[in-house]
Amino acid sequence: MSNQILNDHRDSRGFVVNPFEYLAGTGDISNCHAFSIEPGCERGNHAHPARNEQILVLSGSITVKHRDENTTLSAGTPSILTIPEGIRHTFENNTKETAVVICWSSERKEGYNGDDTVW
């Protein structure tokens, strides 16, 4: 048994970690990361031109702004939201509790080989 310490990136909004960064290969899953969003904060306002992004809330609740839509996701009703490649999106926490989210990509364009986030 081993315990791999992840590089976590923390700031006033919370943290981000990539649980697969130490694996040699991840098959069809790429760019998986977990993050927190503190109450009243947002993350994102970016797009991924070469891959989709799938979102699952592990704790709390968030609003995902994408296109002209707002989608609320909650750990109380687990669901996966898939944002297609190239769609700009933002994650907001408008509640009074910290939200914890995991995101990953399962579809990507041929030749994709890393983070293609466009801010």
User: Does 30 score more than 90 pLDDT?
Assistant: no
How would residue 6 be classed by pLDDT, with cut points 50, 70 and 90?
Answer: low
Q: Is 28 in contact with 22 (CB distance < 8 Å)?
A: no
pLDDT at residue 26 in the model? 56
Average pLDDT of the residues of the chain: 84
- Beta-bridged to residue 33, according to DSSP, are 103
How would residue 112 be classed by pLDDT, with cut points 50, 70 and 90?
Answer: low
Range in 18-22, 81-85, 94-98 the model is least confident about: 18-22
Q: Which two tokens stand for residue 89?
A: 């999106």
Q: Which residue has the tokens 């891959």?
A: 51
- Phi then psi for residue 63, to 5 deg, are -110, 130
Count CB atoms within 10 A of the CB of residue 69: 9
Compute the distance between CA of residue 115 and CA of residue 48 in angstroms, rounded to an integer. 8
Q: Which residue has the tokens 């990953």?
A: 104
Mean pLDDT of 28-43: 89
71-79 contacts: CB < 8 A, separation 24 or more? 73/101, 75/100
CATH among 2.60.120.10, 3.40.50.410, 2.60.40.10, 3.40.720.10 for 26-105: 2.60.120.10
Q: Which two tokens stand for residue 105?
A: 């990509």
Q: Which tops the pLDDT comparison, 63 or 107?
A: 63
